Structure 1
């Protein structure tokens, strides 16, 4: 019996050793990105062309009750300790991305797009919930309309307000008068 048990133990050890030597080495595969290594599913994988956003729209979506102090500190740095509807705009830089990664379960992050072009001033710019920054055009009168208004005001045959009031009062008082 002892020989039989001895053979079983030896065969188990050989089998375990066999699987340890056949492990696949992943060290030389993958695409190195700044900060991490990506292992694609297919060997001929190509990154699609992508233009990263310059800014992020960040909104807190979870309450602060039960959140660790270090995550609350990061939220306070982004000024997101107020209401849940508060929104902040954050630059897309590695330092901010690292802090956002730590609180990604507490916030909603959307890249900001500029369909109307990058605004020169914040006046008239509206940030929508989907991350679009729309620039509303200011209404300015055209030069042609300004000139027409000035020529109308200076016209001699034009009736001014006082003349119109007198004429209207006269018609009111003599409404049934048939003589014109």
Structure 2
């Protein structure tokens, strides 16, 4: 049976990956699958903390067995970016930082986490409009920031999962 040109190119493109021992992160038997449904989350009681927890649950699943505890601290600030000639602020930047640590739930007294890290990113919003529109834009930017921080934490945890018990 002859392969089409597309099939042949796909096979050839995959050969270098197979030769280097590449394995899919979310494939069967991957280390990260051991975290699914096993991580409890502790984040600040703020709108950003709520959104971050929700995003982590989307990615790792709701807690079925709380074998691990992920503690997250979030810091955000608001920086004026664009100031008009009338001295009105038209655009804001929201830089954010999240520090996280993953603990074994059975051994919370241990001060050394299994894995930890810090992630940083930002979101921005326009303040050029009505008060209601500006408030909605700010809320949306805070939600996007929390979700982006959660996605970066998940990426770090995917790499750290290889070394977990």
TM-score if structure 1 supplies the norm length?
0.19
Name whichever structure is richer in strand by fraction: 2
More helix, by proportion: 2
TM-score, structure 2 normalization: 0.20
For the pair shown, which has the larger CA radius of gyration, 1 or 2? 1
